[in-house]
């Protein structure tokens, strides 16, 4: 039995089984790890820490797809989830979501329409989170602030921090309403000087670089909702 405690927004998985947790991470290029040729991104770096023979940890599947928006993640969510069970009649224990930055982009020009209109984004997000919570407990990792001076991306997408902030705040609020832990990477990184952030972004101004993904990994593993998975062995109760 798995419990998800909404008031404190903490994931609670009690020990009982010898099986490690099975975790799926779904989202866009931030999950995929684009921009990190050394470590493969924060998800891959975390996966590797759980593969050491002397201290085997949980099973983590990277299901990030570059360019994905909220609607595309929603379409593949349950299929991806159902095909990552490993053992017969078992499914993943936790879903980590990270999506939204591509929805916020302006198309064609700096004042163009958002790739996903804001109201539509809110509606699709609420449905996605409801869908995910019917499957298992959910965690949400937020987006990284971009370098606006490097836009447009691929000569057609204009990302800006004002729109990012609007979309991430909407995500944060929906997560709060549904009792889903949300890691606000945007605000954490914006607390640092611009020079600090630029050092952690690739030349395209959108994707983190090797240092950026290492920083992201540290943010994630030090997050209260995730830290206990690294400090000791936590396993799901079986029915």
* pLDDT at residue 56, as a whole number: 66
* pLDDT at residue 12, as a whole number: 44
pLDDT digits (tens, 9 = 90+) for 48-93: 988 877 666 788 999 999 999 999 999 999 999 988 766 555 788 8
Query: 6 or 146, which is more confident?
Result: 146
Q: pTM for the full model?
A: 0.88
pLDDT digits (tens, 9 = 90+) for 2-48: 333 333 334 444 444 456 888 999 999 999 999 999 999 999 999 99
* pLDDT at residue 50, as a whole number: 85
Beta-carbon contacts of residue 38 (< 8 Å; ≥ 6 apart): 210
Lowest mean pLDDT among 75-84, 118-127, 132-141: 75-84
**Whole-number average pLDDT of the chain:** 87
Spatial contact of 168 and 142, defined as CB atoms under 8 Å apart: yes
Q: Give the whole-angstrom CA distance, residue 69 versus residue 90.
A: 28
Spatial contact of 58 and 22, defined as CB atoms under 8 Å apart: yes
State the burial class of residue 38 (Cβ atoms within 10 Å of its Cβ: 0-12, 13-18, 19+): exposed
The mean pLDDT of 102-125, rounded to a whole number, is 98
Is the pLDDT reported for residue 204 higher than 80? yes
Is the pLDDT reported for residue 151 higher than 60? yes
* pLDDT at residue 233, as a whole number: 47
Q: Give the whole-angstrom CA distance, residue 39 versus residue 211.
A: 10
Beta-carbon contacts of residue 42 (< 8 Å; ≥ 6 apart): 30, 33, 213, 214, 216, 217, 220
Q: Give the whole-angstrom CA distance, residue 30 versus residue 236.
A: 27
pLDDT digits (tens, 9 = 90+) for 89-109: 578 889 999 999 999 999 999
Which helix (H) or strand (E) element contains residue 158? Answer: strand 157-158
Give percent of the chain with pLDDT exceeding 70. 84
Is the pLDDT reported for residue 156 higher than 70? yes
* pLDDT at residue 87, as a whole number: 59
């Amino acid at each position: 039995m798995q419990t998800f405690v909404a008031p404190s927004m903490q994931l609670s998985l009690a020990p009982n089984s010898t099986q490690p947790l099975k975790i799926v991470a779904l989202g866009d290029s931030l999950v995929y790890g684009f921009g990190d040729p050394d470590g493969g991104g924060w998800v891959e770096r975390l996966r590797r820490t759980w593969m050491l023979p002397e201290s085997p940890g949980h099973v983590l599947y990277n299901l990030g797809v570059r360019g994905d928006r909220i609607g595309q993640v929603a379409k593949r969510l349950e299929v991806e989830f159902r095909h990552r069970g490993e053992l017969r009649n078992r499914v993943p224990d936790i879903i980590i979501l990270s999506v939204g930055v591509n929805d916020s982009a302006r198309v064609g020009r700096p004042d163009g329409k958002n790739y996903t209109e804001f109201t539509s984004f809110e509606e699709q997000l609420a449905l996605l989170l409801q869908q995910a919570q019917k499957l298992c407990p959910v965690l949400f990792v937020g987006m990284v602030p971009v370098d606006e001076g490097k836009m447009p991306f691929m000569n057609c997408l204009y990302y800006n921090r004002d729109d990012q902030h609007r979309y991430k705040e909407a995500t944060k609020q929906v997560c709060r309403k549904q009792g889903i832990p949300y890691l606000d990477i945007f605000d954490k990184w914006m607390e640092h000087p611009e020079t600090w952030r630029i050092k952690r972004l690739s030349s395209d101004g959108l994707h983190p670089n090797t240092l950026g993904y290492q920083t992201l990994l540290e943010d994630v593993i030090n997050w209260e909702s995730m830290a206990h998975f690294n400090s000791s062995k936590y396993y799901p109760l079986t029915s």
